[in-house]
Structure 1
Amino acid sequence: MIARLAAAALAAGIALLTTGTAHAAVTLSSGHVDALDVDWTGSALTLDVRDSTVSPAVDRDPSTVTFNAVSASRTTVPSSAAYSFLGTPGSPVWILPQSQVSGILWPGFDTAGVPSGVLQGNTLTVKLVSVTGPADFSVYTTSSFGTPTVWFDSGNGLPDTRSLAVNTHAHANWAFEAAGTYTAVFEITATKAAGGTVTSGQKSYTFTVQL
């Protein structure tokens, strides 16, 4: 029995090394991570988390990761009407920022694992399928002039979709309008250049937001 268990453990370790995907549960609170890391297997799209808070970086199943918005990520909603999607001006909002800030998690999007030519138009679609949590969740970018562009917003109905080109590495602001735990479900879809659709399947992401 002991020999069989040892053999099973060894086989699992070999499989982990082969796939390059780490499955141990972790909480990420600071540093760089590609929350939505999209790769191409040769016939299908995959969606995982590329964790660069460790060296060397590892791929993780989203179900094993908790993204933590620490209390230092708390700020207030700007007075500009352009930010009304975040709530009432002056009210608290927690933001994992577009630009890296020490001590705060810096999540991004990465499609560099999808080679040019395999998808129609060299683009794929990121879909925010659903969100559960204590308040609204949104993802948006801010221009150099401070103008926001909303990518996803659970406050005005879901699903929301956003097209991304292959070989893209991008960052945005991830905003939470109250403390607590959120579950966001994402899916990647595309049309193959040769015809036919492909999907990563729906993946659940967990976020904890601290007071």
Structure 2
Amino acid sequence: MLTATRRRATGALVTGAAMIAALAISAAPAQAHGTGLPVLLSAGHVDVIEVEYEDGELELGVHDDTVEPGEHRHHDDVIFVVKPQARTVVPSDPAFGFLGTAGSRVWILPQVENEDLLFAGIATEELEEGVFAGDSLDLTVQQLISAPSSGQVAVYTEDLFGQPTVLANSRDGLPDVVDLPVGEHLHANWAFSKAGVYLLKVKASATLAGTTTVVESDSVYLRFVVLP
């Protein structure tokens, strides 16, 4: 029997699949607040994960800078759209073998801003120093649900020489844990192996400074629709 969380995730997957058909016909803009429809984000800067700590609780949200002024949103209300312009091929450099076979298709939201695509960040800027041990927290990429089921996701950075550091990669199994310093803003490459729908389940955790107490956020699903 499906758990309530699994049922919600499956429902979101079906919703995302319906969005693919709609978006393939017409590129839809972000929906107006209060319509009950998901906000579709397809270009501009957005923190797909913003971590906050309030009243003793870690919280994950979306900070949408595609509108002025920027808005804080709940992950359940947002679909991140990866447009066809993100499609490229896996480099021949063996260092990128984690993306698949060299020359095969891959859709990448890049680490460096491209005005035609989402510029997807991870923000811990609201977290103060001295609150957590080591002034850092863990972001755990717990699970991937995708349609087609063979779809894979990798999140990685590239250095000044173009060499990758993999932060999370579903191809070799999840969960993966990313160490994030507080007070920072990270941009990475978000790579998808196929057109389709991706639900990426994540949560944050940290140890309070000077204690053994661990605080955790609720798990959320990042919903991506990758257009062919």
Give your verdict on TM over 0.5.
Answer: yes
Aligned to 1:3: none
Q: Which residue of 2 aligns with 1:147?
A: 163
2-structure distance, mates of 1:125, 1:83? 25
SS state at 2:171 partner: helix
- Per the alignment, residue 70 of structure 1 pairs with 83
Q: Output the CA distance in 1 between the equivalents of 2:223 and 2:55.
A: 29
RMSD: 1.1
Aligned-residue sequence identity (percent) comes to 40
* 2:152 maps to which of 136, 140, 145: 136
The Cα offsets for residues 25-68 of structure 1, whole Å up to 9 and x where unpaired, read as 20100000011100110311110000000011111101111000
* Inter-partner Cα distance in structure 2 for 1:60 and 1:194: 32
CA deviations 1:103-144 (Å, max 9, x no partner) are: 100110100111111111110001000001131101000111
Output the TM-score relative to the length of structure 2: 0.81
Counterpart for residue 181 of structure 1: 197
SS at match of 2:98: helix
- Aligned partner of 2:172 in structure 1 is 156
Q: Distance in 2 between matches of 1:89 and 1:55?
A: 40
What TM-score does the superposition give when structure 1 sets the normalisation length? 0.88
How far off is 1:102 after superposition? 1.4
The 5-angstrom pairing of residues 95-114 of structure 1 reads 95-114=108-127
Report the secondary structure of 1:112's partner residue. Answer: coil
Q: Aligned equivalents of 1:110 and 1:130: distance in 2?
A: 21
Matched, 1:169 2:182: no
Partner of 2:107: 94
Opposite residue 156 of structure 1, the aligned amino acid is: D
Which residue of 2 is the match for residue 204 of structure 1?
221
Cα distance per residue 1:154-204 (max 9 Å; x no partner): 000110001011001010000000000000001000001142111111101
Task: Show the counterpart of 1:85.
Answer: 98
Structure 1 runs (4+) deviating above 6 angstroms are none
Tell me how far apart the structure 2 counterparts of residues 159 and 151 of structure 1 sit (CA, whole Å).
11
2: CA distance, partners of 1:59 / 1:119: 23
Secondary structure at 2:122 match in 1: strand
**171-180 vs 36-45, greater mean Cα deviation:** 36-45
Task: Tell me how far apart the structure 2 counterparts of residues 145 and 120 of structure 1 sit (CA, whole Å).
Answer: 32
Q: Which stretch shifts more, 22-31 or 58-67?
A: 22-31
Corresponding residue pairs, total: 190
Q: Distance in 2 between matches of 1:120 and 1:106?
A: 30
In the aligned structure 2, how far is the partner of 1:98 from the partner of 1:90?
A: 20
Matched, 1:115 2:132: no
Unmatched 5+ stretches in structure 2: 1-32
Structure 1: where are the runs of 5+ without partners? Answer: 1-21
